[in-house]
Amino acid sequence: MSKKILIIGSGIAGISSSLKLKSFGFNTTIIDKGNFIGGRISTREVTIDRKLNFFYHGAQFFTAKTKDFKKIISTGIKNNYIKEFGNFTPKRYRGHRTMREFLLNLSNELQIQQKVKITQIKPLGNKINVLDDKGNDWEGYDGVISSIPAPQNYNLMKNFPSLKKTLKTGSYHACIALMFTFDKVPFDLKTHYDFNKKSGILGWMASGSNPNVWTAHTNEEYSDLNYCKDKNFLKEEIMFSIKLFFRSKIKFHSLHIWRYAKVKSKYSGLQIDPTYPVAIAGDFLQGPNIEDAFISGNKAAYLIFDRLK
Ligand SMILES: Cc1cc2nc3c(=O)[nH]c(=O)nc-3n(C[C@H](O)[C@H](O)[C@H](O)COP(=O)(O)OP(=O)(O)OC[C@H]3O[C@@H](n4cnc5c(N)ncnc54)[C@H](O)[C@@H]3O)c2cc1C
């Protein structure tokens, strides 16, 4: 009978683990605490003036250097759910029509359940059980991959000290994202602005699903120092900075704080428990971007496959 694997997290790392295990003939289920698939590849839907708008308040684009991920991208382009973004070398890509649609298409044959928050993973005989925050037991898995950000993953690993050790070794930058629209779209507006080499608090700003839907991200230094501050204070500071560049007034605005945004220093150590078929995956083990999270998910799938085959 095919092995049953539970994957925690429907970000790109969880999805790549699931796709790879499925290709080995394993039966996988992904569960995630969020309302939507994608984790930090996120899309916020907001109706403004009776029109639906999509903000990308997490990852803005992805790049590809490995054969496997280039294949994902060429399949997405062929099937019209990935498009090139801007005119960069190396090339950058986005989900089409939204970032979420990239993941929805990639995972359309996978079993995924959202709105389930996992609180514990525990071995029982030769199976692994998982407990959610409503007290439900997800019983009888042959293996588990947990692909949630390292500090949250740490809290699930009480029974797996070797993984706990790995999950203590690195760190993340925070990021503060302001989603906004202009009252009047400024003349000659581009699709994105990179502020990283400029002074000030902004790092990056780019449009979403239409030219008047924007997300501004604060730079790493400002984010790490300020993510705990009052949301209204942060909104005012970011809006003030935006107004220095674009004279137009801001109309709609909404703030999102990512405590664990981009990997600052990679985590190292064991990726699979030495005794039990429990593995960890995510950008934190590989590098601070979507492709690295994808690679890490693949690696976890191989580790589980080798342990259970
Ligand atoms: C603001 C921002 C901008 C970025 N910009 C870029 C960019 O332009 N290009 C790029 O390549 N990368 C970018 N990144 C980084 C990129 O988004 C991440 O590297 C990548 O998406 C991480 O994927 P992941 O699967 O490892 O983790 P995640 O996407 O974080 O997925 C983890 C999932 O676990 C779920 N989860 C957490 N706890 C539990 C629990 N207890 N039970 C169940 N589920 C749980 C979460 O809901 C989440 O869906 C950016 C990130 C941020 C935040």
**224, part of any domain:** yes
Give the tens place of pLDDT for each residue, 223-243. Answer: 999 999 999 999 999 999 999
Same domain, yes or no, for 156 and 237? no
Specify the CATH number for the domain of residue 275. 3.50.50.60
Of 197 and 146, the one with more pLDDT: 146
Q: Which helix (H) or strand (E) holds 12?
A: helix 12-23
For ligand 1, what atom is nearest to the CA of residue 281?
A: 26
Amino acid at the residue 122: K
Amino acid at the residue 226: N
**52, part of any domain:** no
**90, part of any domain:** no
Same domain, yes or no, for 166 and 176? no
| 151-158: Cβ within 8 A, 24+ apart | 151/260, 152/260, 153/280, 153/282, 156/8, 156/118, 156/119, 156/120, 156/121, 157/121, 157/280, 158/120
Same domain, yes or no, for 116 and 199? no
Quote the pLDDT of residue 248: 86
Same domain, yes or no, for 22 and 140? yes
Q: Express as a percent the part of the chain with pLDDT over 70.
A: 100
Average pLDDT (52-59) is: 96
Same domain, yes or no, for 249 and 181? yes
**By three-state DSSP, how is residue 280 classified?**
strand
Same domain, yes or no, for 119 and 260? no
**79, part of any domain:** no
Same domain, yes or no, for 255 and 281? no
Same domain, yes or no, for 146 and 187? no
Q: Which domain holds residue 14?
A: 4-37+107-170+266-308
Quote the pLDDT of residue 187: 81
**198, part of any domain:** yes
Ligand 1 centroid distance, CA of 289 (Å): 9
Same domain, yes or no, for 255 and 155? no
pLDDT above 90 (res 126)? yes
pLDDT above 90 (res 162)? yes
Q: Residues with Cβ within 6 A of ligand 1?
A: 8-14, 31-34, 39-41, 58-62, 117-118, 147-149, 152, 175, 177, 217, 258, 261-262, 282-283, 288-290, 293
Paired strand residues for 29: 6, 111
Q: What is the mean pLDDT of the chain?
A: 96
Same domain, yes or no, for 19 and 127? yes
pLDDT above 80 (res 1)? no
**282, part of any domain:** yes
Whether 99 and 105 have beta carbons less than 8 Å apart is answered as no
Q: How many domains in the chain?
A: 2
Q: Give the residue, out of 18, 106, 148, 260, with the most ligand 1 atoms within 8 A of its beta carbon, to mutate for a pocket test.
A: 148
Ligand 1 centroid distance, CA of 133 (Å): 21
Token pair 């293996």: residue:
143
Same domain, yes or no, for 193 and 303? no
Specify the CATH number for the domain of residue 245. 3.90.660.10
Same domain, yes or no, for 178 and 212? yes
Which whole-number Å values give the CA distances from 125 to 28, 140, 150, in the listed order? 20, 9, 27
**12, part of any domain:** yes
